[in-house]
Amino acid sequence: MKIKQISVYQVDLPIQPISISGGRTFAGVDSTIVALETDENITGWGEACPLGATYLPAFALGVRAGIAEIAPHLIGEDPCRLSRINQTLERALAGHPYVKSAFDMACWDILGKSLNVPLCELFGGRINDELVLTHGVFIDTPAKMVADIEALRKNGYRYFTIKAGNAVEEDIERIRATHAAIQPGEILGVDANGGWLVHEATRVVRAVKDLDVYFEQPCSTYEECLKVRRQTDHPFILDESMDSLSAVLRGYHDDAMDAVVIKLAKVGGLSRARIIKDVCVELGIPIRVEESWGSAFVVAATAHLAHAVPVNRLFASYGEMTSLKTAEGAPVQANGRLKANNKPGLGLAPLLNVLGEPVVCYS
């Protein structure tokens, strides 16, 4: 089997306006979707969708510029030879893992379709039949954030991740107000998205040391987060700084975290995320599987990987991120849980009328 053409689509995804640390706000995202067509009439689909240009070292125009560098090197390659594909990606472009993630996802989709099995079966088999979801509660007044938690609870959510990382005193007020709204059996995480300086994060963890909350990526760098970790007994989750297997192993040996967040684009795609997943399972590190943003393609890919994580290792996953339907067959979300279908590959049928015409094709 050979890749004969690569088509690239650009889609603007509407999202509920959100606010995270540093005054960063987003009301929509620019997603890039790729279709890898083969000479055996199997097409694989992938997606890369950075959250703006200030969340991670990634941005939408960079995705399409990177695709222009990589795509010509993939024409004529066998998409099912994943190791060779990833070697080709590395040789074609240094760095920029978020660009490579879309290609890698599409190749896995082709492999699953060629074998007539859903992706989760290729990642170790479906262990989790339904995935527990977490949902972000974005920065606002304490009263509004409490109201958001109550609304999410009505939709079945029991794990809430409130955003923080602005003024320390305001963040402390938000944490105390939202914690007071948490019911027995529910989980509250505090995610600063790297927005605090070390001294600010230290003040916060000390001010709420009596509360049962998880802290997530309080500071920008791994080293800064580790300093805060060593000053608190709160459970810790690392996200943005966990961008490779070596980063996860370093965190494990430094006792820097209690759980990690695997984002496909952050680590370079499903191939690397699958390896990190397997290592975390072996080391006993709980995992949250998600992505920076995206539509049905991203949600399906993360769901399939999460389905292959043992129940006692999967901390949570993430569901719908846009109201725009880009494909039929997206994982079904209900009562705070998510479930991918059993169709081959990603299990999706792209809606070409929604995707529009390709912005560029390579052959």
HEC letters along 78-120: CCCCHHHHHHHHHHHCCCCHHHHHHHHHHHHHHHHHHHCCEHH
| Main-chain dihedrals φ then ψ at residue 108, nearest 5 degrees | -65, -40
pLDDT at 320 over 90: no
Q: What is the predicted pLDDT for the residue at 215?
A: 98
**For the chain, what is the largest distance between any 2 Cα atoms, rounded to a whole number of angstroms?**
61
Question: What tokens were used for 119?
Answer: 């992706």
CA distance 298 to 228: 32
Q: What is the pTM of this model?
A: 0.96
Mean pLDDT, range 246-264, rounded to an integer: 98
Active site residue 4: no
337 secondary structure, DSSP code: E
| Site of tokens 């390659």 | 77
Active site residue 263: yes
What SS3 state is found at 10? strand
> Which has the closest alpha carbon to 290: 282, 309, 281?
309
81 secondary structure, DSSP code: -
Yes or no: say if 91 and 277 are a contact pair by the CB < 8 Å rule.
no
Mean pLDDT, range 224-248, rounded to an integer: 97
Mean pLDDT, range 218-246, rounded to an integer: 97
Question: What tokens were used for 111?
Answer: 């492999």
Q: What is the predicted pLDDT for the residue at 216?
A: 98
Q: What is the predicted pLDDT for the residue at 228?
A: 98
CATH classification of 3-116+352-362, choosing from 3.30.390.10, 3.30.420.480, 3.40.50.10800, 3.40.640.10? 3.30.390.10
Question: What tokens were used for 64?
Answer: 């399409």
Give the pLDDT band of residue 127 (cuts 50, 70, 90).
very high
pLDDT digits (tens, 9 = 90+) for 53-76: 999 999 999 999 999 999 999 999
How many helices (H) and strands (E) would you count in the chain? 13, 17
Terminal-residue alpha carbon distance, the chain = 15
| Beta carbons within 8 Å of 134's beta carbon, 6+ residues apart | 157, 159, 160, 161, 187, 189, 288, 316, 317, 318
Yes or no: say if 63 and 11 are a contact pair by the CB < 8 Å rule.
no
| Beta pairing, strands 187-191 & 159-163 | parallel
pLDDT at 16 over 90: no
Annotated catalytic residue within 100, 113, 263, 277: 263
Helices in 116-154 by DSSP H: which ranges?
119-122, 142-154
Give the pLDDT band of residue 96 (cuts 50, 70, 90).
very high
pLDDT at 104 over 90: yes
Annotated catalytic residue within 4, 113, 154, 163: 163
CA distance 146 to 19: 15
> Where in the sequence of the chain do the CATH 3.20.20.120 domains occur?
121-349
Mean pLDDT, range 337-344, rounded to an integer: 96
Question: What tokens were used for 338?
Answer: 């998510």
CA distance 316 to 264: 15
pLDDT at 262 over 90: yes
Q: Please give the torsion angle defined by the CA atoms of residues 138, 157, 58 and 165, in that order, rounded to the nearest 10 degrees.
A: 30
Classified by CATH at the fold level, domain 121-349 comes out as TIM Barrel (3.20.20)
**What is the percent of the chain with per-residue pLDDT over 70, rounded to a whole number?**
100
What SS3 state is found at 318? coil
CA distance 9 to 2: 21
What SS3 state is found at 250? helix
Lowest mean pLDDT among 17-26, 64-73, 157-166, 174-183: 17-26
Write down the mean pLDDT value for the chain. 96
> Where in the sequence of the chain do the CATH 3.30.390.10 domains occur?
3-116+352-362
Instruction: Return the number of other C-beta atoms located less than 10 Å from residue 227's C-beta.
Output: 16
Mean pLDDT, range 22-49, rounded to an integer: 96
pLDDT at 18 over 90: no
